[in-house]
Amino acid sequence: MKFICLTVLIINGATDSRSEQYEVVGPVYPVFAVAGEDVILPCSVKPNINVVDMRVEWNRPNLKDSQLVHLYEDHEDRNTDQIQSYRGRTKLNHQELQRGDASLKLSSVQVSDEGRYKCFIQSKSWSDDATVDFIVEVVGCLPVITVDGFDDSGGLRLQCESEGWNPEPDLEWRNSEGISLSSETTDTHRNTDGFSVKHTITIHHSDKIHCRVRLRHHMLEAVIISSSNMFHLWRASAILFSVVVVLSGFAAVLIAVFVHEYRGKILVFELESHVLFISQSTNSVQ
């Protein structure tokens, strides 16, 4: 009889352990949010069992120092050791915990919040975790187009620059017909203010040129209209420069000829003077 009871207890314990097993799941793709907005970092268990009596911990595994973002334990939030920058900005919905949803609400998103998060859920006999990659979007400054002069072939060099983005945006040129134009040079760098991008292009005829900087569904644009007068001015400048070069060369030749003839006349004059001096000296001796 004791053997039967012991067997029943073992079977019941194994059944309870299996019934408490669950899988913690997070999003497949990164979560995006604009700086200053609120965001929900998804985390739940499968099957959707009640996790009110469990330990729910959100942390930043890649940080060197304190890693705790939010802790729920013994039916209450315990954030004494929470990272300072998260104080007052995290929240778990306790009612949703009854349905197996342990998603974290993060308010007033900051750029420093970007990174990998781990959602850890632990019961008395089981635990599991899932990771959430979070990217904070910062929309930068309006792009600025500047004219960088003409190249040797008469093409107009344009430069478009924008800064203060996160993550790195895409910059593209388009003409008036919406056709994409290839950038000749590209420059991207990152500092404390975010990513800065700078692209250049050369055009050879009048057109309406668009410079667009995109970050997912965010887009800022600048437009410049290159008139035919710009290219006429370059052609006139090129012709004038050529004329100046030719005239300068011609003047240089004339000056060289003049100097050569002048030096020749001076030499003849000096020789004649020397001969005259010798002749007069001879006459004096006689």
Question: Which one is predicted more confidently, 285 or 192?
Answer: 192
> Among 138, 84, 85, 133, which residue's Cα sits nearest to residue 111?
138
Name which residue leads in pLDDT, 147 or 279: 147
- The token duo for 255 is 């000056």
Q: What is the CATH number of domain 141-226?
A: 2.60.40.10
Q: What is the pTM of this model?
A: 0.69
For position 51, what pLDDT does the model report?
Answer: 97
pLDDT of 139 over the 50 cut: yes
Q: Are 221 and 209 in contact, with CB atoms under 8 Å apart?
A: no
- For 40-85, the pLDDT digits (tens) are 999 999 999 999 999 999 999 999 878 999 999 999 999 999 999 9
- Secondary structure letter of residue 108 according to DSSP: S
**3-class SS at 65?**
coil
Mean pLDDT confidence for 179-184 = 94
Model pLDDT for residues 155-173, shown as the tens digit of each residue? 899 999 999 999 999 999 9
> At 255, which amino acid appears?
I
Rounded percentage of the chain residues whose pLDDT exceeds 70? 73
Q: If you average pLDDT over residues 125-133, what whole number do you get?
A: 97
CATH of 23-137, one of 2.60.40.10, 3.10.310.10, 1.10.3720.10, 3.30.930.10: 2.60.40.10
Give the pLDDT of residue 222: 97
**In which region does residue 171 sit, left (phi positive, over 0), alpha (psi from -120 to 50) or beta (all else)?**
beta
The answer to whether 198 and 168 have CB atoms below 8 angstroms apart is no
Which among 97, 98, 102, 5 is positioned nearest to 44, based on CA atoms?
102
Would you kindly state where each structural domain of the chain is located, as residue ranges?
23-137, 141-226
Cβ proximity of 136 and 72 under 8 Å: no
